[in-house]
A = this chain, B = another copy of it.
Amino acid sequence: MKKYNVAVVGATGLVGTTILKVLEERDFPIQKLTLLASRKSKGEELMFRDRKYLVEELNENSFDADIDIAFFAAGGGISERYAPIAASKGVVVIDNSSVFRMDEGVPLVVPEVNGEDTFKNCGIIANPNCSTIQCMLPLKAIDNKHKIKRVVYSTYQSVSGSGLKGLKDLEEGKNGFYPYNIMENLIPHIDVFLDNGYTKEEMKMIQESRKILHRDDLKVTATTVRVPVKFSHCVSINIELEEEFDLKGIRTILSSYPGIIVKDDLKNLQYPMPIDVEGKDEVYVGRIRRDYSLDNGLNIWVVADNIRKGAATNAVQIAQVLIGKED
Contact = CB atoms under 8 A, between A and B. Distances in A.
B184 A266 contact: no
Contact of A293 (B185, B193, B221, B267): B221
A147 interface: no
Contacts of A293: 150-152, 219-221
Interface in A114-154: 150-152, 154
Contacts of A219: 293-294
A193 B266 contact: yes
A185 B274 contact: yes
A288 B185 CA distance: 20
Given A219-B293, A221-B291, A221-B294, 8 more contacts: A179-B269, A185-B273, A186-B229, A188-B271, A196-B289, A197-B287, A221-B293, A223-B299
Given A287-B197, A288-B197, A188 B273 contact: yes
Contact of A297 (B188, B221, B291): B221
A153 to B, nearest CB: 9
9 contacts: A154-B223, A184-B275, A186-B227, A189-B269, A193-B266, A197-B266, A197-B290, A221-B292, A221-B293
A48 interface: no
Contacts of A273: 180, 185-188
B238 A185 contact: no
Interface string A233-271: 010101000000000000000000000000000110101
